[in-house]
Structure 1
Amino acid sequence: MDKYNGLLRNASLEYSIDRGTHESITDFKSRIIYSIIGRMAMASLWDMPETGYVSINHLKNRIKELLFCYRQMYPEINDGITADDSLFADEIYNILMYSGCIYHEPNRIVISAKNDGCKGNALFTRGYPLSIKQCISGLGTYKTNIITAKSIKDLFLFDRQPLETYWESCTSRLEWNQMELDVDTEFLNMSPTYSSYWVTKGDNSGRVSILRIGPKGRQIYYFYKYENNNFYVSQIPYWRVENSYRALANACLKAYGALPKTEYVIDGDIVNIRFAYLPPVEEFYLWKLYSWPGSFLDLDNSFKRVCSLVPFEAIMSTMVELGYEFAEVNK
């Protein structure tokens, strides 16, 4: 298949996708192909199907068609990429949708308006014409050495307070009621080592923490504290946990010094990231947009990602401002 390798070399140069110093050639090819498919999926939004508009199914089918073609051209990647083409297509679609690169209009999906935001040496771009030369990390596009007044927070609509400030604002004026808890109550795991996010035994130190009650998908969340052999609770407004409880969970753990650091390993011009605790959904989809899966065989594993160095440093700097901590480790 050497006759096709020039295509990937050209794409890696065009999009500034570099190979890690210790990265296998097959993993490198898989990353390039993933980014090309994402780019061509975006291009498909200019298609004109018989329906007259581009639907979700049209986009996902295009992704699956592209993956099939690249599997034929580069059979060496097949052992390293999930055999579930629908899962692969869903992953790319979800990242593009939840990071704001595409959005719904009646009966169709469209590309977001042109916009950008700067952090450090990276200008993060969205909705730029495909003809404009840009670097790619994962599915996300960026340019370097360009400064604008708009920040990455403006581009991705981050209105987060720093974690400890957010926790204080959420818990400073609570009204408490005593509650008898049933055996199915789940408590946020406050341990510095995490085998799971939730445990069956509550924290009895008197600190304010989080619990939830009810069937999966319909849980009701409460702040709680344990005093005088009783649990006291204050219901958390639904809008605070509607999309994810992780914003509050990260803030809670940070307030008590229990939020683990995100570890990373620099490998040449790429960075291998290991999340010990997932950030809130909005922040995490920014990471997912600008990174590749740690394993294309296990797309459901969100804890390991691979990112180009320039966007990694910019996003990490933004997260540090919010109170998250990072630690560079040896491979």
Structure 2
Amino acid sequence: MTLQNNLIPIIAKAYRIERGTTEPVEQWRMRVIYSMLGQMAYASLWDVEENEQPVSVVHFKSRMKKLIESYCDIFNDLHKSFGYNYENLLEEIYTIQLNGGTLYHTSYRLAPNQYSCASAEQILFTRGMAPGEKRFVSGQGTYLLSQEKQSMNSPQRMFQLPEKTLIETWEHLMRTAKWSLFHQNESVEFLRLEPPFKYGYWQRQKEEDHEVSLIRMGINENRFYYLYKEKEGKSFVSQLPTWMTDGHRYRRVSNALLAAKDSLPVAIYHEDGPIVTLALRYLMPAEELDFIKLYSWPTSCIELPHDFNRIFAKDVFYAVKTALEPIGYQFVKE
């Protein structure tokens, strides 16, 4: 019973994962275990085989699976927070670390990134630290308090955040667009340009009184995206390159378009003692969202991903906010 009572607080203290003033203890415990799983999986990268081959993705995930199964044996009610099927959780943690630059991935093998760090506010973002080194954890991201060590590097460079603002991105798209005549068909979807966005980002009908918009055609992975405008009763399009739109990368364009039209929703945050809850009302492009997800916890570990609602260590949140605001994102305190 002593081990059961002390295990979570010991891990939380080591990683500096504090419980919010009004936060349910079950959620705090979920956050501690979520971070611990990722850190132990990261430590498994040093389990180099006798042939000196880097560890496999399977090895990385199996370390987490064994741990979560052990914790569920210790804490009988943990299934309420993690369910019984952990595959989505393991994939989520792996993907967040991979996209956040913590891991190198090649030929089904994994290796830790080289050490790097970047300062913002009172936080020193870190990656590539050896398992035994002291570090704090917010979500899956590691950090130190910047009083302990300084860095000339910036989060923008370390996490490959864009150099252009959203408005500058849109202006560049307008300058380089190559328009051609377009005949509409039934497969066209128009980007929703006005809130509420809870009904989805795309719709069949176009909105009036917007000079330039964004459309897409096709299905699933075979979609093509175009800038769209009307002039003198005719429709024109300028196709966007696939590297800019593959997956969800079109959100770089959609965020830029909404920012230019002053209709990009602000993100709402709420302080709860040592933590901050963040509600995104429009998903950011991949690089910014990966940065946010690396340094935050989901509000639930059962139905993943939870990209719209995240939890941060408070001082880490303000450092992330400082890095993202110059791009053009707005954060409003609730």
**Distance across 2 between alignment mates of 1:211 and 1:298:** 30
1:2 Cα deviation after fit: 4.6
CA contact (8 A) 1:82 1:298 kept: no
- Contact 2:193/2:258, CA 8 A, preserved across alignment: yes
Distance 1:84 1:249 in 2: 35
Alignment partner, residue 88 of structure 1: 89
Shift of 1:235: 0.7
Q: Aligned residues: percent identity? A: 33
* 1:295 and 2:300 aligned: yes
Moved over 6 A (4+): none
How far residue 204 of structure 1 moved from its aligned partner, in angstroms, is 3.2
Q: Paired residue for 1:37?
A: 37
Alignment match, 1:120: 121
Does residue 109 (structure 1) correspond to residue 110 (structure 2)? The answer is yes
- After superposition, the C-alpha distances for 1:76-125 in whole angstroms (9 at most, x for unaligned) are 22112233211111011000111110012345110000111111111000
Match of 2:101 in 1: 100
CA distance in 2, matches of 1:46, 1:138: 21
The residue correspondences of 1:1-331 to structure 2 (distance < 5 A) are 1-49=1-49, 52-144=53-145, 145=147, 146-194=149-197, 195-243=199-247, 244-329=249-334
Task: Determine if contact 1:206/1:227 at 8 Å carries over to the other structure.
Answer: no
Take 1:116 and 1:204, find their aligned partners in 2: how far apart are those partners? 47
Contact 2:89 2:302 in 1 (8 A): no
Cα distance in structure 2, aligned partners of 1:148 and 1:299: 34
CA shift, 1:130, in A, is 1.8
SS at match of 2:78: helix
Structure 1's unaligned 5+ residue stretches are none
TM-score of the superposition, structure 1-length normalised?
0.95
**Letter paired with 2:3:** K
User: How far off is 1:206 after superposition?
Assistant: 4.3
Local SS of the residue matching 2:5: helix
1:301 is paired with a residue whose SS is coil
The amino acid of 1:91's aligned partner reads: E
| C-alpha distance in 2 between matches for 1:249 and 1:119 | 27
Q: Which residue type is aligned with residue 46 of structure 2?
A: W
Aligned-residue Cα RMSD (Å) equals 1.5
Aligned partners of 1:256, 1:250: CA distance in 2, in Å?
10
Rounded to whole Å, the distance in 2 between the matches of 1:191 and 1:22 is 34
**Residue 75 of structure 1: how far off its partner (Å):** 1.9
Alpha-carbon offset, residue 50 of structure 1: 7.3
**Distance (Å, rounded) in 2 between the aligned partners of 1:36 and 1:175:** 50
State the alpha-carbon separation in 1 of the partners of residues 233 and 73 from structure 2.
Answer: 65
CA distance in structure 2 between the partners assigned to 1:180 and 1:83 by the alignment:
51
Preserved contact between residue 222 and residue 235 of structure 1 (Cα < 8 Å) = yes
Compute the TM-score of the two structures, normalised by the length of structure 2. 0.94
Which secondary structure state, in structure 2, belongs to the residue aligned with residue 214 of structure 1? strand
Following the alignment from structure 1 to structure 2, what is the Cα–Cα distance between the partners of residues 186 and 64? 41
The answer on whether the counterparts of 1:203 and 1:226 sit within 8 Å (CA) in structure 2 is no
TM-superposed deviation, 1:49 = 4.8
Q: Deviations over 1:288-313 (max 9, x none)?
A: 11011111222223111111111110
C-alpha distance in 1, partners of 2:207/2:237?
13
The one-letter amino acid of 2:114's match is A
In the alignment of these two chains, the number of paired residues is 329
Q: Conserved in 2, the CA contact under 8 Å of 1:53 and 1:107? A: no
Deviation at 1:171, TM superposition (A): 1.1
**What is the SS of the residue equivalent to 1:219?**
strand
**1:15 positional shift:** 1.0
